[in-house]
Structure 1
Amino acid sequence: MQIQVNSDNHIESSIRLEEWVRTTVESTLDRYEEDLTRIEVHIRDENGDKPGPHDIRCQMEARPKGHQPISVTHKADTLDQAVDGAAVKLDHALEHLFGKLRSKRPGMAAVDSVQGEESENPDALLQEEFLEKDQALHS
């Protein structure tokens, strides 16, 4: 997964900033590494040199293999909060996308609906029902 970091004129780009953003994105989205080709990160100071609340904006666009890009945006007071917030939003968006894809696969809908709970074997239930009816007929 390739991570590209872009910033505007008001946020000083540096190798340290880019490495920090990459590390944050990788640690949040590492479970999707095989499913994504690239993530673009755009960091911008909305108000330029003027201070103001929620003026740091981070937009992240993920490119899932074989699917349309997914884009999220998070605004915050600090660069850390903006990047972390966007990474979390992108994680949720990707979970939603891949969750929908898993549920569309044959046989996976039942597994997803149980969500980790142990389900009973349907054949065993049918066999139990058959034996009960058979026993009632012969009694």
Structure 2
Amino acid sequence: MQINVNTDNTITKHQGLDEHVDTVLRASIGRFSEQVTRVDVHLSDENKEKKADGGNHCMLEARLAGVAPIVVHDHANDLHQAINNASGKLARALDSTIGRLHDKHRHTAVPVVSVDGDIDPTADKHLTDN
């Protein structure tokens, strides 16, 4: 799983910030590392000039093969808190999306073939992992 950290001109990007993002993401979504190919992280402070609270913004965009990107956002008073909150949201979104994909593949219809090799259109059999 590749993690790309991007910042706007209001955030000073440094090694410690990259390491924090990497640590938090791997802790929260590491179990999905086989399915997630890349996570793009976008950080900004929308209120830096105003000295107001709550302007720290974190957007996470996770890429999975064959699925539209999964995007989550969070705003917080502290940039680290925004990163932590967004990573939790991403973990829940990935869990839901991957679970739905797994269920979809598990419950695909299978045609029933009669003894003479004809497909029986009246039969309704489904694959399950039971």
Both structures adopt the same fold (TM-score exceeding 0.5): yes
Cα deviation for residue 11 of structure 1 reads 1.1
Q: Does 1:25 align with 2:50?
A: no
For each residue in 1:91-120, what CA deviation from the matched residue of structure 2 results, as whole angstroms up to 9, or x when unmatched?
011011011112221315xx6xxxxxxxxx
For each residue in 1:39-72, what CA deviation from the matched residue of structure 2 results, as whole angstroms up to 9, or x when unmatched?
0000000113222231000000000122110100
Write the letter of the residue equivalent to 1:95: D
For 1:73, the equivalent position in structure 2 comes to 73
Structure 2 spans left out of the alignment, 5+ residues: 108-127
For residues 21 and 69 of structure 1, the distance between their equivalents in structure 2, rounded to whole angstroms, comes to 19
Structure 1 spans left out of the alignment, 5+ residues: 112-139
- Higher helix proportion, which one? 1
For residues 20 and 75 of structure 2, the distance between their equivalents in structure 1, rounded to whole angstroms, comes to 18
For 1:88, the equivalent position in structure 2 comes to 88
For residues 19 and 53 of structure 1, the distance between their equivalents in structure 2, rounded to whole angstroms, comes to 24
Number of positions where the alignment pairs a residue of Structure 1 with one of Structure 2: 109
For residues 67 and 77 of structure 1, the distance between their equivalents in structure 2, rounded to whole angstroms, comes to 32
For 1:53, the equivalent position in structure 2 comes to 53
- Higher strand proportion, which one? 2
Percent of aligned pairs sharing the same letter: 39
Q: CA RMSD in A?
A: 1.2
Find the structure with the greater CA-based Rg.
Answer: 1
Off by >6 Å, runs of 4+ in structure 1: none
TM-score by length of 2: 0.79
When structure 1 is superposed on structure 2, of 18-27 and 44-53 the one drifting more is: 44-53
